[in-house]
Protein backbone atom coordinates (compact mmCIF):
# COMPACT_ATOMS: atom_id res chain seq x y z
CA UNK A 1 0.00 0.00 0.00
CA UNK A 2 1.35 3.42 -0.91
CA UNK A 3 2.26 5.86 1.84
CA UNK A 4 -0.42 8.48 2.39
CA UNK A 5 0.39 12.17 2.47
CA UNK A 6 -1.98 12.53 5.41
CA UNK A 7 -3.57 10.18 7.96
CA UNK A 8 -6.90 11.62 6.91
CA UNK A 9 -6.81 9.59 3.69
CA UNK A 10 -5.96 6.43 5.59
CA UNK A 11 -8.98 6.84 7.85
CA UNK A 12 -11.07 7.87 4.84
CA UNK A 13 -10.38 4.51 3.15
CA UNK A 14 -10.90 2.61 6.43
CA UNK A 15 -14.29 4.30 6.81
CA UNK A 16 -15.33 3.38 3.26
CA UNK A 17 -14.09 -0.24 3.42
CA UNK A 18 -15.25 -0.94 6.98
CA UNK A 19 -18.46 1.05 6.66
CA UNK A 20 -19.32 -0.78 3.45
CA UNK A 21 -19.08 -4.17 5.17
CA UNK A 22 -21.13 -2.98 8.15
CA UNK A 23 -23.79 -1.55 5.85
CA UNK A 24 -24.00 -4.87 3.96
CA UNK A 25 -24.46 -6.81 7.20
CA UNK A 26 -27.25 -4.47 8.30
CA UNK A 27 -28.89 -4.62 4.87
CA UNK A 28 -28.69 -8.41 4.81
CA UNK A 29 -30.17 -8.81 8.30
CA UNK A 30 -33.01 -6.41 7.57
CA UNK A 31 -33.92 -8.18 4.34
CA UNK A 32 -33.70 -11.63 5.88
CA UNK A 33 -36.69 -10.88 8.11
CA UNK A 34 -40.29 -10.62 7.01
CA UNK A 35 -43.06 -8.46 8.41
CA UNK A 36 -46.59 -9.62 8.19
CA UNK A 37 -47.87 -12.97 7.06
CA UNK A 38 -45.50 -15.16 5.00
CA UNK A 39 -46.73 -15.69 1.46
CA UNK A 40 -49.04 -12.69 1.60
CA UNK A 41 -48.96 -10.31 -1.42
CA UNK A 42 -47.02 -7.10 -0.78
CA UNK A 43 -48.98 -5.07 -3.28
CA UNK A 44 -46.19 -4.84 -5.85
CA UNK A 45 -47.36 -6.05 -9.28
CA UNK A 46 -45.48 -6.20 -12.58
CA UNK A 47 -46.57 -7.14 -16.08
CA UNK A 48 -50.25 -7.07 -15.12
CA UNK A 49 -50.27 -10.25 -13.02
CA UNK A 50 -46.74 -10.81 -11.62
CA UNK A 51 -47.11 -10.33 -7.85
CA UNK A 52 -44.41 -9.99 -5.19
CA UNK A 53 -45.08 -12.17 -2.18
CA UNK A 54 -43.86 -11.58 1.35
CA UNK A 55 -41.32 -14.45 1.47
CA UNK A 56 -37.94 -14.49 3.26
CA UNK A 57 -34.71 -14.76 1.27
CA UNK A 58 -33.62 -18.38 0.58
CA UNK A 59 -31.37 -19.70 3.34
CA UNK A 60 -28.73 -20.93 0.87
CA UNK A 61 -28.53 -17.42 -0.58
CA UNK A 62 -28.15 -15.87 2.88
CA UNK A 63 -25.41 -18.32 3.85
CA UNK A 64 -23.49 -17.64 0.66
CA UNK A 65 -23.79 -13.87 1.15
CA UNK A 66 -22.54 -14.15 4.75
CA UNK A 67 -19.62 -16.24 3.49
CA UNK A 68 -18.58 -13.45 1.11
CA UNK A 69 -18.67 -10.96 4.01
CA UNK A 70 -16.54 -13.26 6.19
CA UNK A 71 -14.12 -13.66 3.29
CA UNK A 72 -13.90 -9.86 2.86
CA UNK A 73 -13.17 -9.37 6.59
CA UNK A 74 -10.52 -12.11 6.53
CA UNK A 75 -8.93 -10.60 3.43
CA UNK A 76 -8.72 -7.12 4.98
CA UNK A 77 -7.13 -8.63 8.10
CA UNK A 78 -4.47 -10.55 6.17
CA UNK A 79 -3.81 -8.17 3.25
CA UNK A 80 -3.57 -4.39 2.81
CA UNK A 81 -6.83 -2.63 2.11
CA UNK A 82 -7.64 -0.71 5.27
CA UNK A 83 -5.71 2.51 4.83
CA UNK A 84 -2.15 2.32 6.15
CA UNK A 85 -2.67 -1.12 7.72
CA UNK A 86 -0.39 -3.52 5.83
CA UNK A 87 -2.16 -6.72 6.82
CA UNK A 88 -0.96 -9.50 9.11
CA UNK A 89 0.86 -11.23 6.24
CA UNK A 90 2.76 -8.07 5.34
CA UNK A 91 2.12 -8.61 1.62
CA UNK A 92 2.79 -5.80 -0.85
CA UNK A 93 3.18 -5.40 -4.60
CA UNK A 94 6.81 -4.44 -4.04
CA UNK A 95 7.60 -7.58 -2.04
CA UNK A 96 5.78 -9.71 -4.62
CA UNK A 97 7.80 -8.10 -7.41
CA UNK A 98 11.07 -8.54 -5.51
CA UNK A 99 10.25 -12.20 -4.90
CA UNK A 100 9.57 -12.79 -8.59
CA UNK A 101 12.75 -10.95 -9.59
CA UNK A 102 14.79 -13.01 -7.12
CA UNK A 103 13.30 -16.23 -8.49
CA UNK A 104 14.05 -15.14 -12.07
CA UNK A 105 17.61 -14.15 -11.13
CA UNK A 106 18.16 -17.53 -9.50
CA UNK A 107 16.98 -19.32 -12.65
CA UNK A 108 18.43 -17.12 -15.39
CA UNK A 109 21.24 -15.30 -13.60
CA UNK A 110 23.89 -17.97 -14.32
CA UNK A 111 23.04 -17.82 -18.03
CA UNK A 112 23.43 -14.04 -18.16
CA UNK A 113 26.66 -14.27 -16.15
CA UNK A 114 28.04 -16.78 -18.63
CA UNK A 115 27.70 -14.27 -21.46
CA UNK A 116 29.01 -11.43 -19.30
CA UNK A 117 32.39 -13.18 -19.24
CA UNK A 118 32.53 -13.29 -23.04
CA UNK A 119 33.64 -10.56 -25.42
CA UNK A 120 30.77 -8.53 -26.86
CA UNK A 121 31.64 -9.40 -30.45
CA UNK A 122 31.49 -13.11 -29.53
CA UNK A 123 28.13 -12.70 -27.79
CA UNK A 124 26.82 -10.82 -30.85
CA UNK A 125 27.32 -13.94 -32.98
CA UNK A 126 25.71 -16.34 -30.49
CA UNK A 127 22.17 -17.28 -31.65
CA UNK A 128 20.82 -17.94 -28.17
CA UNK A 129 22.22 -14.64 -26.90
CA UNK A 130 20.68 -12.84 -29.88
CA UNK A 131 17.24 -14.22 -29.02
CA UNK A 132 17.68 -13.10 -25.41
CA UNK A 133 18.87 -9.69 -26.57
CA UNK A 134 15.92 -9.34 -28.92
CA UNK A 135 13.46 -10.00 -26.09
CA UNK A 136 15.22 -7.43 -23.92
CA UNK A 137 15.15 -4.93 -26.78
CA UNK A 138 11.43 -5.40 -27.44
CA UNK A 139 10.69 -5.00 -23.73
CA UNK A 140 12.87 -2.00 -22.91
CA UNK A 141 13.86 -0.26 -26.17
CA UNK A 142 11.17 -0.72 -28.81
CA UNK A 143 8.95 2.04 -27.42
CA UNK A 144 11.51 4.62 -28.62
CA UNK A 145 13.54 2.88 -31.32
CA UNK A 146 10.69 0.82 -32.79
CA UNK A 147 10.26 -2.95 -32.78
CA UNK A 148 12.44 -3.15 -35.90
CA UNK A 149 15.10 -0.87 -34.32
CA UNK A 150 14.88 1.58 -37.21
CA UNK A 151 14.06 4.46 -34.89
CA UNK A 152 11.75 7.42 -35.36
CA UNK A 153 12.08 11.19 -35.44
CA UNK A 154 14.34 12.07 -32.52
CA UNK A 155 15.28 8.42 -31.89
CA UNK A 156 18.26 6.97 -33.78
CA UNK A 157 18.09 4.13 -36.27
CA UNK A 158 20.16 1.32 -34.77
CA UNK A 159 20.48 -0.69 -37.96
CA UNK A 160 22.67 1.70 -39.96
CA UNK A 161 26.32 2.66 -39.49
CA UNK A 162 25.64 6.20 -38.28
CA UNK A 163 26.35 6.57 -34.55
CA UNK A 164 26.33 9.78 -32.53
CA UNK A 165 28.67 8.46 -29.84
CA UNK A 166 30.31 5.55 -31.64
CA UNK A 167 29.14 2.15 -32.79
CA UNK A 168 31.77 -0.18 -31.39
CA UNK A 169 30.44 -2.76 -28.90
CA UNK A 170 31.93 -1.20 -25.76
CA UNK A 171 30.64 2.29 -26.60
CA UNK A 172 27.15 0.91 -27.25
CA UNK A 173 27.28 -0.84 -23.87
CA UNK A 174 28.39 2.40 -22.17
CA UNK A 175 25.51 4.26 -23.81
CA UNK A 176 22.96 1.74 -22.54
CA UNK A 177 24.52 1.50 -19.09
CA UNK A 178 24.86 5.18 -18.28
CA UNK A 179 22.65 6.92 -20.84
CA UNK A 180 23.38 10.01 -22.93
CA UNK A 181 22.29 13.64 -22.77
CA UNK A 182 22.49 15.38 -26.14
CA UNK A 183 22.00 19.14 -26.34
CA UNK A 184 21.98 21.35 -29.41
CA UNK A 185 21.84 24.99 -28.22
CA UNK A 186 19.46 27.49 -29.78
CA UNK A 187 21.43 29.72 -32.18
CA UNK A 188 18.85 32.12 -33.55
CA UNK A 189 20.06 34.94 -31.32
CA UNK A 190 23.84 34.53 -31.81
CA UNK A 191 23.38 34.08 -35.58
CA UNK A 192 21.51 37.37 -35.91
CA UNK A 193 17.99 36.12 -36.32
CA UNK A 194 16.18 34.42 -39.19
CA UNK A 195 18.60 35.64 -41.86
CA UNK A 196 21.61 34.13 -40.11
CA UNK A 197 19.76 30.87 -39.46
CA UNK A 198 18.79 30.64 -43.13
CA UNK A 199 22.39 31.19 -44.22
CA UNK A 200 23.80 28.50 -41.92
CA UNK A 201 21.02 26.09 -42.93
CA UNK A 202 22.00 26.55 -46.58
CA UNK A 203 25.64 25.87 -45.81
CA UNK A 204 24.78 22.80 -43.70
CA UNK A 205 22.66 21.39 -46.53
CA UNK A 206 25.51 22.00 -48.99
CA UNK A 207 27.76 19.75 -46.91
CA UNK A 208 25.76 16.71 -48.01
CA UNK A 209 25.77 17.77 -51.68
CA UNK A 210 22.31 19.31 -51.82
CA UNK A 211 21.47 22.21 -54.14
CA UNK A 212 21.41 25.47 -52.19
CA UNK A 213 21.72 29.21 -52.64
CA UNK A 214 25.50 29.50 -53.09
CA UNK A 215 25.63 33.11 -51.91
CA UNK A 216 23.70 32.29 -48.75
CA UNK A 217 25.80 29.19 -48.19
CA UNK A 218 29.00 31.27 -48.37
CA UNK A 219 27.66 33.61 -45.69
CA UNK A 220 26.56 30.60 -43.69
CA UNK A 221 30.05 29.11 -43.80
CA UNK A 222 31.45 32.20 -42.10
CA UNK A 223 28.99 31.83 -39.26
CA UNK A 224 29.46 28.05 -39.18
CA UNK A 225 33.20 28.49 -38.78
CA UNK A 226 32.57 30.90 -35.93
CA UNK A 227 29.85 29.11 -33.95
CA UNK A 228 29.56 25.46 -35.05
CA UNK A 229 33.01 23.99 -35.65
CA UNK A 230 33.60 23.44 -31.93
CA UNK A 231 31.15 20.55 -31.99
CA UNK A 232 30.66 19.59 -35.64
CA UNK A 233 34.34 20.06 -36.64
CA UNK A 234 35.55 22.33 -39.50
CA UNK A 235 34.51 19.80 -42.15
CA UNK A 236 31.09 19.15 -40.56
CA UNK A 237 31.84 15.48 -39.92
CA UNK A 238 30.81 15.73 -36.29
CA UNK A 239 32.43 14.64 -33.05
CA UNK A 240 31.47 11.36 -31.39
CA UNK A 241 33.11 12.43 -28.14
CA UNK A 242 30.38 15.09 -27.84
CA UNK A 243 27.61 13.26 -29.66
CA UNK A 244 27.64 15.95 -32.38
CA UNK A 245 26.20 14.46 -35.58
CA UNK A 246 27.91 14.20 -38.95
CA UNK A 247 26.37 16.84 -41.23
CA UNK A 248 27.95 15.56 -44.43
CA UNK A 249 25.74 12.49 -44.85
CA UNK A 250 22.02 12.19 -45.54
CA UNK A 251 21.00 10.90 -42.12
CA UNK A 252 19.03 13.33 -39.97
CA UNK A 253 17.84 12.56 -36.46
CA UNK A 254 15.00 15.09 -36.44
CA UNK A 255 14.43 15.35 -40.19
CA UNK A 256 16.41 16.81 -43.08
CA UNK A 257 13.92 19.14 -44.75
CA UNK A 258 15.00 22.82 -44.98
CA UNK A 259 12.31 23.92 -42.53
CA UNK A 260 13.28 21.29 -39.93
CA UNK A 261 16.99 22.06 -40.25
CA UNK A 262 16.26 25.77 -39.73
CA UNK A 263 14.12 24.94 -36.70
CA UNK A 264 16.91 22.79 -35.24
CA UNK A 265 19.46 25.59 -35.69
CA UNK A 266 17.15 28.32 -34.41
CA UNK A 267 15.54 26.57 -31.43
CA UNK A 268 18.02 23.81 -30.61
CA UNK A 269 17.33 20.23 -29.62
CA UNK A 270 17.47 18.21 -26.42
CA UNK A 271 17.69 14.43 -26.54
CA UNK A 272 18.04 12.02 -23.65
CA UNK A 273 18.89 8.35 -23.62
CA UNK A 274 18.08 7.09 -20.08
CA UNK A 275 20.54 4.97 -18.13
CA UNK A 276 19.58 1.29 -17.84
CA UNK A 277 22.28 0.02 -15.50
CA UNK A 278 20.30 0.17 -12.25
CA UNK A 279 17.21 -1.79 -13.25
CA UNK A 280 18.76 -4.09 -15.88
CA UNK A 281 22.20 -4.75 -14.43
CA UNK A 282 25.43 -5.18 -16.36
CA UNK A 283 24.83 -8.79 -17.39
CA UNK A 284 21.59 -7.98 -19.23
CA UNK A 285 23.01 -4.77 -20.69
CA UNK A 286 25.94 -6.82 -21.98
CA UNK A 287 23.61 -9.08 -23.99
CA UNK A 288 21.46 -6.14 -25.10
CA UNK A 289 24.51 -4.23 -26.33
CA UNK A 290 25.72 -7.26 -28.25
CA UNK A 291 22.32 -7.63 -29.88
CA UNK A 292 22.18 -3.96 -30.91
CA UNK A 293 25.73 -4.18 -32.25
CA UNK A 294 24.70 -7.19 -34.35
CA UNK A 295 21.86 -5.24 -35.97
CA UNK A 296 24.27 -2.97 -37.85
CA UNK A 297 26.60 -5.88 -38.70
CA UNK A 298 24.11 -8.44 -40.00
CA UNK A 299 25.95 -8.76 -43.32
CA UNK A 300 29.38 -9.20 -41.70
Is 1 inside any structural domain?
no
Do 131 and 193 fall into the same domain?
no
Shared domain check, 210 and 129: no
Residues 251 and 206 in one domain: yes
Domain total in the chain? 3
Domain that holds residue 111: 100-179+274-295
Tell me, yes or no, whether 174 and 105 share the same domain.
yes
Output the domain CATH number for residue 188.
Answer: 1.10.760.10
Q: Are residues 134 and 53 in the same domain?
A: no
H, E, C per residue of the chain: CCCCCCHHHHHHHHHHHHHHHHHHHHHHHHHCCCCCCCCCEEEEEECCCEEEECCCCCHHHHHHHHHHHHHHHHHHHHCCCECCECCCCCCCHHHHHHHHHHHHHHHHHHHHHHHHCCCHHHHHCCHHHHHHHHHHHHHHCHHHHCCCCCCECCECCCCCCCCCCCCCHHHHHHHHHHCEEEEECCCCCCCCCHHHHHHHHHHHHHCCCCCCCHHHHHHHHHHHHHHCHHHHCCCCCCECCCCECCCCCCCCCCCCCHHHHHHHHHHCEEEEECCCHHHHCHHHHHHHHHHHHHHCCCCC
Q: Is residue 120 domain-resident?
A: yes
Q: pLDDT in tens for each of the 300 residues of the chain?
A: 456 678 888 899 999 999 999 999 998 888 777 676 777 887 788 888 888 887 777 889 889 999 999 999 999 999 998 988 889 998 888 888 889 988 988 888 888 899 999 999 999 999 999 999 999 999 999 999 999 999 999 999 999 999 999 999 999 999 999 999 999 999 999 999 999 999 999 999 999 999 999 999 999 999 999 999 999 999 999 999 999 999 999 999 999 999 999 999 999 999 999 999 998 999 999 999 999 999 998 755
Query: Does 281 lie in the same domain as 175?
Result: yes
Q: Say if 89 falls within a structural domain.
A: no
pTM passes above 0.85: no
- Whether residues 139 and 11 fall in one domain: no
Q: Are residue 278 and residue 267 in the same domain, yes or no?
A: no
Amino acid sequence: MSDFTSQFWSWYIIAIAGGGIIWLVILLRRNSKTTGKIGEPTGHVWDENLEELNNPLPRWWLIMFYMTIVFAIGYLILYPGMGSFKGLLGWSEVSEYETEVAAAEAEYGPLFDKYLKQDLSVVASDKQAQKMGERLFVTYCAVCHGSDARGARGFPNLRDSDWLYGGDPETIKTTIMYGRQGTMPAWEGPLGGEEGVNAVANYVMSLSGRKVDEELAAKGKEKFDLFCVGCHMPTGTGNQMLGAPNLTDTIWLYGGSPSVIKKTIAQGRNGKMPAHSEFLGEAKVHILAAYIYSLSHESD
